[in-house]
Amino acid sequence: MNMNLKLKIWRQNGANDEGKMVDYSISDVSPDMSFLEMLDVLNEQIISEGGEPVAFDHDCREGICGMCSLYINGEAHGPDRGITTCQLHMRKFKDGDTIYIEPFRAKAFPVIKDLVVDRSSFDRIQHAGGFISVNTSGNTQDANAIPISKHAADEAMDAATCIGCGACVATCKNSSAMLFVGAKVSQYALLPQGQVEAADRVKNMVAQMDLEGFGNCTNTGACEVECPKGISLDNIARMNREFLKANI
């Protein structure tokens, strides 16, 4: 059955604006709609009334690009597990609900407008070491020259599925990015190709992470719970081990 909902949405006109929660009502919401489709309908409503639509990031709408964010009722990507906001469906809410919608908040993620935040700090951490230094010349050795155990390959894949959305940071009381950084460090640490420059990589990435203003990890594990891709806390442990190893 279709629903009527009350929305409280964070509106902020640029990084220097103070920002505030604004109330909206929306009616006739189908439970089959995705959360972002509900916001599309709201924006059409706002435009037809002569207002400015709510800005929010989104792109692929199938849970893989990592562009969508949103803190919904106090949870990154809303009240469901293993999904991004674009995969959240309105059937998770009920008629008459009030829904609070805020941006991902962290010092290292400044607000651009309304619900849109700047996550370029994540990119800069990757520039510092999120790669294997191999040229794309086409003269690399045969792909099967180095067998890699299925176990290690699968574990590297699990770490590599991080979509860089920032839910881990938004949900952490310290705004720590260690799950994000740990996932990348782990992916390469688990593969023979990544071993060569493992020490430099972890040192450089961690240094950049600190420089960006992300907090430290205090092992509460909230990031793992809210991660849409189920990235494991083990990756933080592995990063710490790599970091220690690199500094001995």
Residues 102-161 that bind other proteins (CB under 8 A): 112-113, 116, 118-120, 122-123, 126-128, 130-138, 140-144, 147-150, 153-154, 156-157, 160-161
For other proteins, which residue of 7, 10, 66, 70 counts as binding (CB under 8 A)? 66
> Where would I find the H helices in 31-190?
35-48, 120-129, 150-160, 167-171, 178-189
| The CA-based dihedral angle spanning residues 29, 34, 39, 45, taken in that order and rounded to the nearest 10 degrees | -40
Minimum distance between the CB of residue 220 and other proteins, rounded to whole angstroms?
A: 26
Beta strands in the chain (DSSP E): 3-11, 20-29, 71-72, 75-76, 98-102, 111-113, 116-117
Options 3-11, 64-72, 98-106, 239-247: segment touching other proteins (CB under 8 A): 64-72
* Interface with other proteins (CB under 8 A), residue from 26, 64, 199, 237: 64
Quote the least distance from Cβ 23 to other proteins, whole Å. Answer: 19
| Binding flag, residue 95, other proteins (CB under 8 A) | no
- Asked if residue 37 binds other proteins (CB under 8 A), the reply is yes
In the bound complex, what is the minimum distance in angstroms from residue 172's beta carbon to other proteins?
A: 20
Binding of other proteins by 78 (CB under 8 A): no
Whose Cβ is closer to other proteins: residue 104's or residue 217's? 104
Q: Which residue from 141, 136, 138 is spatially nearest to 192, judged by alpha carbons?
A: 141
CB 229 within 8 A of CB 173: no
The dihedral formed by the CA atoms of 119, 124, 126 and 129, expressed in degrees to the nearest 10: -160
**How near is the Cβ of 91 to other proteins at its closest, in Å?**
6
Q: Is 79 in the site for other proteins (CB under 8 A)?
A: no
Residues 6+ apart with CB under 8 A from 220: 172, 173
Listed in sequence order, the residues at least 6 apart from 174 whose beta carbon sits closer than 8 Å to its beta carbon are 215, 216, 217, 218
Decide whether 160 or 246 has the Cβ nearer to other proteins: 160
Phi-psi region at 183: left, alpha or beta (left = phi > 0; alpha = psi -120 to 50) = alpha
By CB under 8 A, residue 200 contacts other proteins: no
Q: Which is nearer to other proteins, 90 or 178 (CB)?
A: 90
Nearer to other proteins by Cβ, of 176 and 186: the residue is 186
Determine, following the binding rule CB under 8 A, whether residue 221 of this chain makes contact with other proteins.
Answer: no
Please tell me the distance from the alpha carbon of residue 167 to that of residue 223, in angstroms, as a whole number: 7
Cβ of residue 188: shortest distance to other proteins, in angstroms?
Answer: 5
Show the tokens assigned to 110. Answer: 């400044």
